[in-house]
Structure 1
C-alpha cells in the first residue's frame, strides 16, 4: 500500500530568500559520506529556496576550500570542556528576558553559536553519530550544537539519520527528541528504535539518506580522473570495486587478536578471485582524512602491497569528490563496501553490492533495497563466505542490478521528502 503524499503549499523562492540555514553534525569533507550529505542539502536549499547556507565544521581550514560556495564556521564540539562551557553560557543567555538578550550577546562566544543565533533553521546531518556505538562522549559531542540550538529557541531538523542505541546519554537524547521540530531516519531499524521515545508521527518519519539525491559527475570527468590516475579498466575482466575502512580492520583484528590479520586475509581473498575468476580489483577510498590515521587510502595500499597479483589491481590515490566517486563506481561490475556511503554511491548508480557492516545503519539501508542477505557483519565476517557471496552475486548481477534500479526510484523519491520538510520548516 502506497503512502498518501500530503498536498504541499506552493511556495515562491522569494519567500525564503532572507532565510538563514545552518548545517551541523558532519565531521569533515575528507569523509565523502559527510560531503555527499552536506552538498545534497546545501545545494538544494540554495538553488531551490535561495536561502543563505552556512556549514559548521570541526575542520574549517580543510572544509572552506571544499565548500567554497558556502560560508564555513568553526565547530568546537570535539573540544568537550570548552564546548560545554559555551553550551552553559547559551543556556544562561536563554533564561534572560528577550528584551534584554541583545545586551548580553557576548555570552555567545563561538562562531558556531553566533551562526545558530542567526539561523532560521538548524539542520543536523550527523549521519550515524547520534548513538553510543562510538562511545557516550562522541554522542554528547554531537548533542552539544543541537542543545545549543534548542536553548536559543531555533527550529531544529534531525535529518535522515541512523539513530541509537543510547545508554548513559539516554536522558539527553530523550530531551532532544522532545524539543526538536522534526526527525527523519533513513532506515527501518532506527525507526523501530525511535518508537520507544513516544514521538508523534508528525515529528518522526522514515525517509532515506539525502546522499541518494547527489547526482554523479559527468562520464567525461570520470574518464579524465582515470587517465590522471593512470588506470585503464580492462573490458574483458570482472571489475570489482573495493571500499575498506579502518574501523572494519581494527574490529576484525581485535576479534582474532592478531594485528594485520584483516590485511593478510583480505589480500589473500582478492588474489584467489583474481586467479580463479579473472577479477580486476579497484580500491576506492571514501574517507581520505582529515588525519593520516583516518585515510582509507593507507589501508588500501597496505592490502594491495600484500597481494601477489598486483597487475590485476589498482589503488585510486586521488582525493576525489563524492559525485566523482559515484560515477567511477558506476563503471564497475560489482562492489564490496565497508563504508556505507560508498555503498550508497554504488546503489545510486545501480551497481550490485556486498556490504561489510559494523553498525545497524548498513543492514538497515541494505534492507531498503531487499539486499539484507548480502550484508556481512564484522562480528561474524568469514573470508570464505565473503568469497562465496561475491561469486554468487556476480552470477545474479543482472537480476540484482535490475532490483536495485527499481528500488532507486522509490528511495530517491522518499529522500526528496527531506527537502520538502526543510521547505515546510522555513515557511
Structure 2
C-alpha cells in the first residue's frame, strides 16, 4: 500500500513536527506494510526524509520557496497557477502536458496519482484570509486533495482546524473538498460550525482530538542542568509569537515582559521557549523573545538555539506552569501534567481548552496586558490544585481519543473502496 501524507510543514515548527511524527506513526499502525511518502514544505535536498518517510517536496513549497530570488519566486507562482489547470485536466491531456511541469510539481502529482491513500496531516493550515494571499493559501492546500479526488484516491483530513473562510468562493472550495473526502476530522467544535456554515454537515466530518495529545517522546535532556536552574527553583515557561499589528504587538510583548518581571519577583525563574525557529515567512519566535527579554528589568533565561522538537517537549515537563501563546507549547505542557495559561490567537486555543474544562484559563491575545496576565498568574497560584484535578479528570480520555486515527483510517478507506467497487 502507498500512502502519501500532504501539507506537511517544517521540523523547525515543533508543534507541526510533532503532528507529523504522530501522523506517520499512526499511519504505520493502521497499515504496517505501507510505503509512506511525505509531500511538504521541506526541501528534499536538505531533508530527504522525516522519521523514515521519504520527502518529495511539494507544489506548495515550490511556489513559496523563500530561498530563491524575487524574480524566480514570481515566476514560480505564475508556473504554479498555470500548472494547476494542467494537473486537473482530463487524464490524456494531463499526461501529454506533464513533461512541461517542473520536477518538484511532477513528483507530488505523480505521488498523488500513484497513492492508495492521501492523508492531509493535522494542524491549523486549512484556512484563508482576506486578499490574494488568503486565496493562494487555501488553493495550494486543497490542490493535492483535488488531484487525489479526481483520481479516485481516498482522502483523509487528519485532526485539524478549519477556517476562517471569509469569501464565498473560499467557502465553496473548502466545502467541495471536504464533502468528497473519506473522512474529515475537526479538532474543535468551532471548526465543525465553520464547515456547517460552508454547507458541510454530518459525514464525512467528525469531531476528533488534536494529534499533539498523542505525542509522548521519552525525555532526552537534563534541561535544568542545561539552563543552570536547581531543582528547588520553580521554573516558568513562556512562549510568544509575532501576530499583531506593530502597536498591538509591542503592547503584547511589553505585557509579557512585565508579567515575567512579576513572576521572577516571587523567586521563580522564567525561560522564554521558542516553539518555532524557521526562517520561512520570518516566523521565528526567538526574534520576538529577544525583544521581550530587552523589555524586562533583568533578562530572563532564553533558549536561543534550534532544538529538536522531541527534546523541546521535555523542557515543558520541567516547568511549574507555562504561559503559552503557541498552542502546541500548551499541549506539550498539559500532556506533561503542567498547568497553562493560554493566550489565544486562533479559535483552536479556546476550542480545545473548552473541551478540557479549562476555557477560563484562556486570554485573547488582543486583551493581553500586565493586569490581565498578572490576574491569571495570581489565580493559578491559588487554584493550582483545582486546575490539576480538572486536568487529571479530563486528560486521559482526551489522550486516548488522540490515538483513534489508525482505526478511523482503516474504517474510512474500507468504506471508500467498497463504494468504488460497488
User: Which residues in structure 2 correspond to 1:227-242 (within 5 Å)?
Assistant: 227=225, 230-242=226-238
User: Shift of the alpha carbon at 1:235?
Assistant: 3.2
Give the Cα separation in 1 of the matches to 2:341 and 2:362.
Answer: 6
User: Which residues in structure 2 correspond to 1:160-175 (within 5 Å)?
Assistant: 160-168=159-167, 169-175=170-176
Match of 1:411 among 381, 398, 402: 398
Q: Deviations over 1:382-407 (max 9, x none)?
A: 22111110121122122212311321
> Runs of 5+ in structure 1 lacking a partner?
1-18
Q: Residue 74 of structure 1: SS of its match in structure 2?
A: coil
TM-score normalised by L of structure 1: 0.84
Give the Cα separation in 1 of the matches to 2:83 and 2:26.
Answer: 31
Specify the alignment match of 1:327 in structure 2. Answer: 314
Deviates more, 1:388-397 or 1:330-339: 388-397
Q: Residue 307 of structure 2: SS of its match in structure 1?
A: coil
User: Shift of the alpha carbon at 1:132?
Assistant: 2.0
Give the Cα separation in 1 of the matches to 2:250 and 2:48.
Answer: 35
Specify the alignment match of 1:155 in structure 2. Answer: 154
Q: Residue 349 of structure 1: SS of its match in structure 2?
A: coil
- Matching of residue 90 in structure 1 with residue 87 in structure 2: yes
Specify the alignment match of 1:139 in structure 2. Answer: 138
Specify the alignment match of 1:15 in structure 2. Answer: none
Q: Deviations over 1:245-287 (max 9, x none)?
A: 112xx34x444xxx74433332222112212x22210111110
Q: Residue 336 of structure 1: SS of its match in structure 2?
A: strand
Q: 1:112 to 1:65 in 2, by over 3 A?
A: closer
User: Shift of the alpha carbon at 1:322?
Assistant: 2.6
Match of 2:376 among 385, 389, 395: 389
Does the 8 Å CA contact 2:48/2:56 hold for their aligned counterparts?
Answer: no
Specify the alignment match of 2:186 in structure 1. Answer: 185
Q: How large is the RMSD of aligned CA atoms in angstroms?
A: 2.5
Give the Cα separation in 2 of the matches to 1:235 and 1:153.
Answer: 57
Give the Cα separation in 1 of the matches to 2:330 and 2:15.
Answer: 10
Q: Deviations over 1:39-98 (max 9, x none)?
A: 00112323552211111122224872671511001112252433333321221144x4xx
Specify the alignment match of 2:110 in structure 1. Answer: 114
- Matching of residue 296 in structure 1 with residue 279 in structure 2: no
Q: Residue 39 of structure 2: SS of its match in structure 1?
A: strand
Specify the alignment match of 1:46 in structure 2. Answer: 28
Q: 1:83 to 1:148 in 2, by over 3 A?
A: farther
Does the 8 Å CA contact 1:126/1:142 hold for their aligned counterparts?
Answer: no
Give the Cα separation in 1 of the matches to 2:158 and 2:25.
Answer: 15
User: Shift of the alpha carbon at 1:153?
Assistant: 2.2
> Runs of 5+ in structure 2 lacking a partner?
64-76, 415-422
Does the 8 Å CA contact 2:252/2:369 hold for their aligned counterparts?
Answer: no
User: Shift of the alpha carbon at 1:349?
Assistant: 1.4
Aligned length: 391
Give the Cα separation in 1 of the matches to 2:277 and 2:250.
Answer: 20
User: Shift of the alpha carbon at 1:226?
Assistant: 4.9
Specify the alignment match of 2:57 in structure 1. Answer: 74
Q: 1:290 to 1:67 in 2, by over 3 A?
A: farther
TM-score normalised by L of structure 2: 0.85
Q: Residue 403 of structure 1: SS of its match in structure 2?
A: helix
Does the 8 Å CA contact 2:342/2:349 hold for their aligned counterparts?
Answer: yes
Q: Residue 401 of structure 2: SS of its match in structure 1?
A: helix
Q: Residue 180 of structure 1: SS of its match in structure 2?
A: coil
Q: Residue 222 of structure 1: SS of its match in structure 2?
A: coil
Give the Cα separation in 1 of the matches to 2:98 and 2:140.
Answer: 23
Specify the alignment match of 2:204 in structure 1. Answer: 203
Give the Cα separation in 1 of the matches to 2:108 and 2:127.
Answer: 22
Deviates more, 1:188-197 or 1:151-160: 188-197
Q: Deviations over 1:337-357 (max 9, x none)?
A: 111111111121121111111
